[in-house]
Every structure is written in structure tokens, then in C-alpha cells.
Structure 1
Amino acid sequence: MTTKIHIWHTGSVYIDQALAFKEKTWHPMPYSGWLRKKENKSWFPVSAYLIEHPKGTILIDTGWHEEIRTNSKKHLGWLPNSMFKGNLPTGESIKDRLEHMNLSSKELDYVILTHLHADHVSGLKHVTGAKTILTSEVEWQAAQRGLGYVRSMWEDVPVKTFEFHDISFGPFEKGYDLFHDGTVLLVHTPGHSKGQVSVLISTEGGWVLLASDVGYAEKSWMQQILPGVTVHKGDAHKSLAWVKDFSTREDCRYVFANHDPDVREGVIVDE
């Protein structure tokens, strides 16, 4: 059995560009979009990924929940709803995507949450039947008490956590080997959030790196442009530098940022 990686856009998010690409400006919080002009704002894709792996079926992040279509303010809460908007066309929710592939959530061996910000976990309750839902222990603890999270999105969901261990990849060489065989690695790439991971997948043609929100687009790591929101600038820079270095390796096939407008939907298969 070969490995297939499905790239899905599970809707889009309307944000100030300063949330995607950090700006130096007089505005104390340009990423919020408050008192900012319309021309500063854009729609960015919200990606999720389905990995058909010989050892299991893995969903990476969950995109928007269908409630975003009908009651955005209730789903996001007042403060997040004042900073960004979500759009979820028919057919693009995780629920829709799985149904299109004739998959139920019970057939998902793993749901991996790269971090717990709203646009990555909003659709989590569409896949509560998955066998195992995982995020890092560092991220889980940060989300229980930190700002920037909508905790109702995982309320009553059986989320499990994993500890970071020494691995040979990443800015801090910490992560989690999902199948204990080096084929799917959850690489600790903090900075945007404390416990964020990127997902590194081995294919016959080389590595595929799903870089989550280390940067919002390829230009982020190529030009070292931080996301507008970081919990630790030093870690964020180090994570971006690692992604840039990894992207230049001969055995690296692709690197994808979660919100890159230039990334198109498709399927990556073993070469």
C-alpha cells in the first residue's frame, strides 16, 4: 500500500494581513484588524490533510465546523468573531469531505491537532468518533489557561496528549514518532503557539512537510516573516529557519503552510 496525502481547503478565513505576516506599525495590535482599513484584509484558505498510510488513516487538523455557516458569533465567541470571519462552502467541511470519500469518523485511526487555535480545531466535533484524537501535552496545557483559544470547541471530546521525545528533526529536535518507525513524525515547531507541531511524512519520493502555522505561506520562511501572533519570537524565528533549511534538502519533496493562498487542493502519492 502506498502513502497518499490529500490536501483539502476546509473553508477560508478573513483576516488582517498583519495576522498572517507580522508588521511593524504604530497600531498596537494590527493582527486584530480593529480600526484597520479593508484593503489590509484578505481571505486565506484553512487547510486540513488526510493521510492514507499503510499503518492507518490520519486526519491533520479539522478546519471549520458547519456551525460557522449559520452562527459564527456563537461558535467563535465575541472576541474572536470581532477579529476574523470564517467561510465554509457546501462540500468543504470535514464532515462533507469524509462523506465524499465514503469514510466515517470511526474509520480515522488518528486525528492530529497541530495546535488548538480555532481554525484548526473548529471542526473537531465532526470527527469525535475517531479512534484516537491527539495533540501535544505542551499545547494542551497552554490551551487550558491561555488566551487565543476557544475551549468549547473540544469540550466533551476525548482528546489525548503525547509527550515530546528526542528525534532527529526540528528546531529543537523534539517530537513524537506516531508509528514508532520514522514514517510520520510530529515535530515540535513552537513560536506561534507553545506546543505546535508540524507533520513530517516519509514517502517513496522523499519527505513531505506540513508546516502548520510556523508561517502562513512559503514567503514566511523564505523571508523570515513571523505570524502576527507569537508566544515566543525567538522560538518562532528558530522554527521558521528550520523549515527553510528543511525545504532545501534534496530529499524534501514539498513543504506546505496551512494558510498559503498559493497552495491548491490535490493528492500527493508515492513516486
Structure 2
Amino acid sequence: MTRRDGRLGSAVFPALVALIIHPDEGAILFDTGYDPAFFEATRTWPEILYRWMTPVDLPPGETIVEQLPRFGVAPDDVRAVVISHFHGDHVAGLGRFPGARIFCARAGLAQVRRPGRFTRVRNGVLADLAPADIDARALFFEDLPQLPLGPELTPFESGADLLGDGSLLAVHLPGHCPGHWGLVVREADDRMRFLIADAAWSSGAVRDNAPPPRLTTALLGETGPWRDTLTALHRLWDRNPELLLTPSHCGEIAVETPRADG
């Protein structure tokens, strides 16, 4: 279901969250991962289908609010949350940050409000996970100033400037679902990390330009744009292998990412 050249069998997919410490804005999250709110939102029919199709293991201590103190960050310190898209595994913890600004795509939020509970579940969306006051707190990628990304990120051309200083640029990565965006982060050592969310489900898929089978891409999004986005990421990696490309569900990244507790 995740690589068209893959073999049949179950696979473990970590649900990763990025903590960004901005020198002026403080703690910012890219997505929120799973949370007990996911299990609450999938208690009833048809939402329980989501839980059956993607069984979730959430051990004690692994929610984002439990992990943040290991890095010296309290949940109330989080000033903003950048949402790549509104699938349940990316927004389940959003309700834990009631004081944070929310950067997201207007097209993604529209999916949350699409009529039909079964249709939303089939598309990986759980409406109960969106905060009731999201309209008052949201800043939409589509409305923010666009900055050129520069030749080092070709073939991607521009990104939405979230903070007005060019440090965080949201980049549209179409195909996986409506309103799916990644984030380019310029790190303290001037290296760039490209958080690509679900444009690929593993670093290996980017290296090999190996998309999911058509059954999967057609179910969740649009096959053509999804494959075009993956090909663009593959070209970017092939031309600039030093660039840090980070999928949200990559086991390689989960192993390599340093933890505050060692």
C-alpha cells in the first residue's frame, strides 16, 4: 500500500513531529502526531473504520505534550503549530495547544468541513480533531507572501513566508490530499531541512522515486500530482543530497533523530 514495488506484509510507520525553536518566536511545531484524542474521535461508526485500517500504538510518554518537557519546552510555550494537512495522524494533538497560532492550508481545512462523515473518514479526516476556534486562530498558507526558494531547492520555486523573515517557508506538495504542504526550515548552521510530510512515506521512496500503488494514491488523493511531487523531490535529492529531506513516517529518520533523553 505504500510502495508499488513493495512486498505484502504489515509495516511500522512512526508518526513524527518536528519541534522548531525560532530565535524570536520560540517553540513552533510542525504537526502534532497522535494523541488520546484520536481514540476518542474514532469510537463511533464510521470513524472507527479509520482506527481499524491503520491500527495505532501509542505507548505512555509518547504524545507530543509528554515529549516536549524532555527538550525543556512546556506545552504552553508552543507559540504556533504548522499543519501539513488534516489527516488524523498529523493533527490529533492539536487540541493540546489552545493558545497557539495555527498555520494551515485553506484547502485542507475545507476537507474537514466537507459533508458526509463516511467520505471524510475515507479521506483520512476526523472533523472532531479540528479545534472549534480554528477560524479565529488560523493563518492560511495561500494568503501569505510568497518568496522564491532559490536554485538550491529547484524544481520547487516558491514558499509561503510564515514569520516574515524567510526562516520558515511552507511549500505546496500536491497529490497526497487537498491542502498538503511541506515546510522548508533554515537551521542555525544555515543548512536547510525540508519537512515533506506525506509526499513520501520513507526516505527510500524519495531516493528510488518509488510512489505508492495507484490504488493508494487514488483513494487518498490524486495519482498524477502525487507522482509529479515525488519525482520533483527525487530530482531535488539527486541534485542536492546534502539537503535534509524529512518524511513524517520514515523509520530511518526516527532512528537518526536525537532525543533529549539520549
TM-score by length of 2: 0.79
Aligned match of 2:182 in 181, 189, 198? 198
Distance 1:71 1:143 in 2: 17
Q: Are residues 77 and 98 of structure 1, via their aligned partners in 2, closer, same or farther at CA, if it must alter by over 3 Å? A: same
Does the alignment pair 1:62 with 2:52?
A: no
Per the alignment, residue 10 of structure 1 pairs with none
Q: Are residues 241 and 201 of structure 1, via their aligned partners in 2, closer, same or farther at CA, if it must alter by over 3 Å? A: same
Question: Which structure shows the higher helix fraction?
Answer: 2
Does the alignment pair 1:168 with 2:148?
A: yes
Q: Are residues 84 and 151 of structure 1, via their aligned partners in 2, closer, same or farther at CA, if it must alter by over 3 Å? A: same
Per the alignment, residue 256 of structure 1 pairs with 246
CA shift, 1:60, in A, is: 0.7
Aligned match of 1:156 in 108, 132, 135? 132
Distance 1:262 1:244 in 2: 17
Distance 2:75 2:133 in 1: 13
Unaligned runs of 5+ in 1: 1-17, 25-36
Distance 1:78 1:103 in 2: 33
Distance 2:113 2:41 in 1: 22
Aligned match of 2:3 in 1, 14, 21? 21
Per the alignment, residue 51 of structure 1 pairs with 20
Per the alignment, residue 74 of structure 1 pairs with 43
Given that residues 220 and 226 in structure 1 are in contact (C-alpha distance below 8 angstroms), is that contact kept between their aligned partners in structure 2? yes
Q: Determine helix, strand or coil for the equivalent of 1:45.
A: coil
Given that residues 63 and 93 in structure 1 are in contact (C-alpha distance below 8 angstroms), is that contact kept between their aligned partners in structure 2? yes
Does the alignment pair 1:208 with 2:193?
A: yes
CA shift, 1:242, in A, is: 2.1
Given that residues 105 and 128 in structure 1 are in contact (C-alpha distance below 8 angstroms), is that contact kept between their aligned partners in structure 2? no
CA shift, 1:202, in A, is: 1.1
Per the alignment, residue 7 of structure 1 pairs with none
Distance 1:62 1:225 in 2: 27
Q: Determine helix, strand or coil for the equivalent of 1:109.
A: strand
Unaligned runs of 5+ in 2: none
- Identity fraction in percent: 23
